[in-house]
Structure 1
Amino acid sequence: MIRVIIHTVCYLFLLGMPGILSAQSEATQAPNFDEHIKPIFKQHCLKCHGDDKQEADLNLQGYGSLLRGGSSGKVVEAGRSSQSVLFQAITEPDDDLRMPPNSPPIDLTKIDLIRKWIDGGLLETSASKSMVKSRDLTFNPGENVSGKPVGEPAMPVDLPLVHKPKLTRPFPVLAMDVSPFAPLAAIADQNQVRLVQTETEQELGRLDFPEGEPHVIRFSHNGAVLMVAGGRPVESGRVVLFDVVSGTRLAEVGDEIDAVLAADLSPDQRFVALGGSGRVVKVYSTVDGELQYKLTKHTEWITAITFSPDGQKLATADRAGGIHLWDANSGGILLNLGEHKEAVRALDWRGDSRLLASAGEDGRLIWWDTVDGFPAINKVNAHPPQRPPGTYGIIPNGVLAARFDSEGRLVTSGRDQTVRVWDVDGNEIKKFKLETGIPLSNAITNQRTTVIIGDSAGNLQFNKL
């Protein structure tokens, strides 16, 4: 009797196997037009955009007609759902503007399927090839070491005595950087910058910054100069260059009427670019402090500025999500990088000057191929938040910081209280969860063994990779 039951169960299981395998196959298969997308269009779109009727000259019933688009041009862009008119229309938050009209929104699972289909390259069938061109994003760290000093790298020696300020509450770690060649980190503090030995985690000294709050800290490419930018909100802003060994002020650049929120020092140390609430990027000479040129294309506060490691390009970003790529020598516009929907919080170049990382309050983390401005890797929700019990509405998922290390890995901080490390292909390889506070800044040490995290409570953490 038992044998009969076993045979019967096995037989029934085998009968169900094709359905199980089919479901698993569909779950892992890249979406294509014929099998996955056309059924969605048939249910929601073809009444107005099919063979019988084409409003705005748009026919979604056939693959070829879909790619041709309508009277206003193409409606899908391979690899970029966020820039595709069709995807924008079906995800429009305004009920009066969203498609299909006078109907409930398309189910979120179907929306996600359409997004994956567009980002995956608009496959027509399961046998089709992606329309997104293949890119070689290989990174060779050994070929991208620039500015390495002759002899020992710069470390602080006999710094001027600076007294630690008495604070009623800890100052958040708004900015930090690590020396590219020495075990040294520079950490933002109230009206000061702390210099910390990254191997012993001991403070070596402080640099006075009476200008106000340090919002940006950057070592020069040879590690010998430290740039500090900041100021006092609605009062003044400036960029100061320090000699790392002696702590001497080498130059003071800019005379802003508000704090400097974004700045960078060019790889050859000849220029400083800065910006803030004035919505203008200004590029100054470090030799005489004279203004070289202005960039006026941004429509919101400047939130991030960075020179490419080869010194040829300058990337700038703003509070509205705009990113522009400029010729660093002439100030001419090269590319507009449109993908973020909210403030861009960080920009950073990979060592080979090809990939640019951007992180935003919209939760996106993007590796841009600056050859043509294509988002080679696009993490729509890089730091997914956990919803606390009993809470409703949108949970902030912004990415607040992003820095490359010398091996091409990227370390990011998010409002989910997590710091994540990504490999050169955009795969998450490590994460660190904070118990309290929000991570505001981070960096990987010069030995590439430790992630340093600075948070909103003023804490500094050293975590082994």
Structure 2
Amino acid sequence: MMLPLSKMPVRSTRLRNVALTLASVLMVQSPADVFAADAKSTDEPAKVTFEDDVKPILRQHCLNCHSQSDKRGGLALDSYGAMMEGGGSGEIVYDDGDAGTSRLWQLVNHDDTPVMPPNQPKLPDDQLQVIRSWIEGGILENSGSKAKAKRKNALAFVASTSGRPEGPPPMPEALPQRVPVVTERAAATTAIGASPWAPLVALAGQKQISLYHTETAELLGVLPFEEGIPQSLRFSRDGQYLIAGGGEHSVKGIAAVYSIKTGERVAQVGDELDTVFDADVNDNMSRIALGGPQRMLRIFDATDGTQLFDIKKHTDWIYSVAYSPDGVLVASGDRSGGLFVWEAETGRLYLDLAGHKGAIRSIAWRDDSNVLASASEDGTVKLWDVNSGKAIRSINAGSGGVTAVQFDHKGQLVTAGKDRKVRLWDANGKQLTETPAASEAVLEVAITHDSSQMIYGDWTGSVRMSAVADPKKIQELAANPPPAKERIGAVEKTLASIKVKLTPLQEKRDATLEGLKAAEKAVSDMDAKIKQHNEAIAKSQTEIAAKKSLREKTVAALPTLVSKSRDAHDTVIASRIGLGDSPDDAALVQAADLEASLAEQLSNIAQQRRLIVQTKKDEAALAGALKAQQETLVAMQAQRTEMEKTVQAARVAADQAEQSYAAVAGELSEAEKKRQLLAEAIQ
């Protein structure tokens, strides 16, 4: 027997409500209506709400530490309102439908630290899916709540070429070759910087900065840094300048600006009592920011070195300083996990970005200036939306700590860490590739302008360049290169090998040029023949036109001549009749004159008729000759077309030979220039 609904053993309020609802439906609707309602409900996805779905999970795992009676970290999760309020570090969920930006999701999914719940296994997958679905569904409170339209976060990114200079990207032209310090091996890698537009990378060494071509791994030159060891290397937005921050611990710190083309130090700011850990220049090269152990973020006028203002909020060593690409903001991170964003023009605080549990070792801006990446010793890289101040992604980028992070022009990230790995991530934080493990912790990393190479250095001073397409394809770069005396021998060998390559290329270039000249002469001769032939055709056409004109005039004049001859004939007949039987001499003479005139007219008519016939024959003969001339012209023009193809092929061959020769000749010139610079360095 069925029990009354009021006495049914209901395990939860939700189940009881469902039972009551079902009873009401059965009492007031027909079976057909019930089936229709069921069919409709299957078309609409069930709402995931806080009260019905998320709170039971939180009750099971979280409320012992996060309730109104025990708000650890200032966070209570036992009510919807308390969860929306967040904790001591701010909000933990947002209504934008993006689970990846949610602090709650990052912790329960173990994407960030401290993992939750502490000292327990990760939540079961089905419970994690409920929490994720709740966030992506708009963090609804209950079944009566409505989700807001999803908003795009700052991960939406369109690559930009802003800052790219016009013309070829800047590359070194004549850099110094003298090595200030020669050691058996380099010290720990302190800084690596890659040009934003050129195949160029700068490596920090001991009292020097080495510049390498990233496509050939060739050492292009060595910039002196007499103040000590460069701790940071950043290129200007247009790639024309290199900004180096560094010095000597407890002695001196500066930021220097070098011209990439000449290697000349064009500016220097700062006179710190300790080394500079990081320095950067704004978009228009008017200001330089630097930071270091003195915990001061200092801003200088780049043109005259005047200190504009100090920013004193940091409580620990400032490891990282970076201007946004648009020059509006400047960010700084310190050893205690402090991360701040400042108004570049005024120095006023814009954002205090709390979230890291370890030192901020590196920061980087995305090209559009909307996203800031921060790498920390807590093992994460966080992506911050600087418009909202939210952490929109937290990436577990390496156990033991992340030491460096850089963006490329695609919005991808390259990271380095104490786990000895370098990794490449897409714009959403998905790992794309990683390098083989280095021998020690990787301290610095950069990615080339075309995203083809990752350059990284470790504690041992080893610097490697690894191809993104094949990370196992590695080339070694020396941060402390050999002295000029050792390198000049290699350059001389290079010169000799280039000269060996150059001779046959020169011979081939000369041969192809001769072939081109011969082909062009053949075309020129054919053009002269065609011109003569065209003149002959024009002459034939003129003659035909003259014959035709004469014939037409003759034919047109013939009726008049015939009519006159007929009149003369009638006159002759009349004169003959008038002679009678005994004409006198005068009458005979007159008659004879009339007959002679008639005869002359008839003879002229006969000549004109013969002329018409002859001109027709002449026209036909000239037309036949013209046709033959035209056919010959067509053949000559076809022959010329083939000759022109030969010329084009010869020109392509000559151009290719010239380019091959010019390329090797350029290599020879560069090698000779480098040899001269090395020779001067030795002296």
TM-score > 0.5 by shorter chain: yes
Counterparts of 1:19-418 in structure 2, within 5 Å, are 34-35=52-53, 37-41=55-59, 45=63, 63-64=79-80, 66-67=82-83, 77-78=93-94, 79-81=101-103, 107-110=120-123, 117=131, 121=135, 134-141=152-159, 144-163=160-179, 165-379=181-395, 381-383=396-398, 385=399, 396=400, 398-418=401-421
Match of 2:415, SS? strand
Deviation of residue 204 (structure 1)? 1.0
What are the superposed Cα offsets for residues 337-375 of structure 1, whole Å, 9 maximum, x if unpaired?
111111000110000000110000011111110001111
Which segment is superposed worse, 231-240 or 453-462?
A: 453-462
Specify the code of the residue in structure 1 equivalent to 2:461: G
Specify the code of the residue in structure 1 equivalent to 2:397: A
Q: 1:204 to 1:36 in 2, by over 3 A?
A: same
Q: 1:333 to 1:199 in 2, by over 3 A?
A: same
> Are 1:453 and 2:456 counterparts?
yes
What are the superposed Cα offsets for residues 72-97 of structure 1, whole Å, 9 maximum, x if unpaired?
9998554554799999xxx999xxxx
Match of 1:38, SS? helix
Distance 1:47 1:149 in 2: 56
Distance 1:176 1:359 in 2: 16
Distance 1:420 1:73 in 2: 29
Deviation of residue 169 (structure 1)? 3.8
Q: 1:72 to 1:426 in 2, by over 3 A?
A: closer
- The residue that corresponds to 1:10 in the other structure is none
Distance 2:446 2:86 in 1: 47
- The residue that corresponds to 1:27 in the other structure is none
Deviation of residue 404 (structure 1)? 0.5
What are the superposed Cα offsets for residues 298-339 of structure 1, whole Å, 9 maximum, x if unpaired?
111111110000010111111111111111011111111111
Distance 1:199 1:287 in 2: 34
- The residue that corresponds to 1:15 in the other structure is none
The TM-score normalised by the length of structure 2 is 0.54
Q: 1:114 to 1:341 in 2, by over 3 A?
A: farther
Deviation of residue 41 (structure 1)? 2.0
Match of 1:260, SS? coil
- The residue that corresponds to 2:530 in the other structure is none
Deviation of residue 218 (structure 1)? 1.0
Q: 1:157 to 1:413 in 2, by over 3 A?
A: same
Q: 1:75 to 1:236 in 2, by over 3 A?
A: closer
Deviation of residue 263 (structure 1)? 1.1
- The residue that corresponds to 1:420 in the other structure is 423
Deviation of residue 168 (structure 1)? 4.7
Match of 1:299, SS? coil
Q: 1:342 to 1:200 in 2, by over 3 A?
A: same
Q: 1:81 to 1:147 in 2, by over 3 A?
A: closer
Specify the code of the residue in structure 2 equivalent to 1:298: H
- Say whether the 8 Å CA contact 1:77–1:118 is kept in structure 2: no
Deviation of residue 410 (structure 1)? 0.7
State the superposition RMSD in angstroms: 3.8
Distance 2:429 2:192 in 1: 23
Which segment is superposed worse, 158-167 or 431-440?
A: 158-167
Match of 2:59, SS? helix
Distance 2:376 2:86 in 1: 32
Distance 1:119 1:401 in 2: 33
Unaligned runs of 5+ in 2: 1-47, 95-100, 469-683
Q: 1:218 to 1:85 in 2, by over 3 A?
A: closer
Specify the code of the residue in structure 1 equivalent to 2:319: T
Q: 1:460 to 1:63 in 2, by over 3 A?
A: same
The TM-score normalised by the length of structure 1 is 0.77
- Say whether the 8 Å CA contact 1:263–1:275 is kept in structure 2: yes
Deviation of residue 152 (structure 1)? 2.4
Distance 2:163 2:66 in 1: 61
What are the superposed Cα offsets for residues 274-320 of structure 1, whole Å, 9 maximum, x if unpaired?
01111110000011100111111111111111000001011111111
Q: 1:139 to 1:44 in 2, by over 3 A?
A: closer
Q: 1:305 to 1:60 in 2, by over 3 A?
A: closer
Distance 1:452 1:73 in 2: 36
Distance 1:249 1:47 in 2: 58
- Quick check: which has more Rg, 1 or 2? 2
Deviation of residue 448 (structure 1)? 2.0
Match of 2:210, SS? strand
Specify the code of the residue in structure 1 equivalent to 2:263: G
What are the superposed Cα offsets for residues 422-450 of structure 1, whole Å, 9 maximum, x if unpaired?
11111111111224122211122122211
Specify the code of the residue in structure 1 equivalent to 2:120: D
Match of 1:41, SS? helix
Deviation of residue 243 (structure 1)? 1.0
Distance 1:43 1:324 in 2: 34
Q: 1:106 to 1:173 in 2, by over 3 A?
A: closer
> Are 1:441 and 2:444 counterparts?
yes
- Say whether the 8 Å CA contact 2:105–2:132 is kept in structure 1: no
Distance 1:60 1:338 in 2: 19
Q: What is the percent sequence identity of the aligned residues?
A: 32
What are the superposed Cα offsets for residues 91-137 of structure 1, whole Å, 9 maximum, x if unpaired?
999xxxx99xxxxx662435997899499745668998699954252
Which segment is superposed worse, 238-247 or 160-169?
A: 160-169
- The residue that corresponds to 2:433 in the other structure is 430
- The residue that corresponds to 1:26 in the other structure is none
Unaligned runs of 5+ in 1: 1-29, 100-104, 386-395
Distance 1:119 1:365 in 2: 25
What are the superposed Cα offsets for residues 179-236 of structure 1, whole Å, 9 maximum, x if unpaired?
1221111111111000101100011110000110110001111111111110100111
Distance 2:148 2:67 in 1: 25
Q: 1:232 to 1:33 in 2, by over 3 A?
A: farther
Distance 2:360 2:322 in 1: 13
- Say whether the 8 Å CA contact 2:377–2:403 is kept in structure 1: yes
Match of 1:145, SS? coil
Q: 1:153 to 1:81 in 2, by over 3 A?
A: closer
Query: Comparing both structures, which one devotes a greater share of its residues to helix?
Result: 2
**Structure 1 segments of 4 or more deviating over 3 A?**
30-37, 42-50, 58-87, 110-134
Q: 1:69 to 1:437 in 2, by over 3 A?
A: closer
Match of 1:109, SS? coil
Distance 2:433 2:255 in 1: 34
Q: How many residues were matched structurally?
A: 406
Match of 1:309, SS? coil
Deviation of residue 69 (structure 1)? 6.4
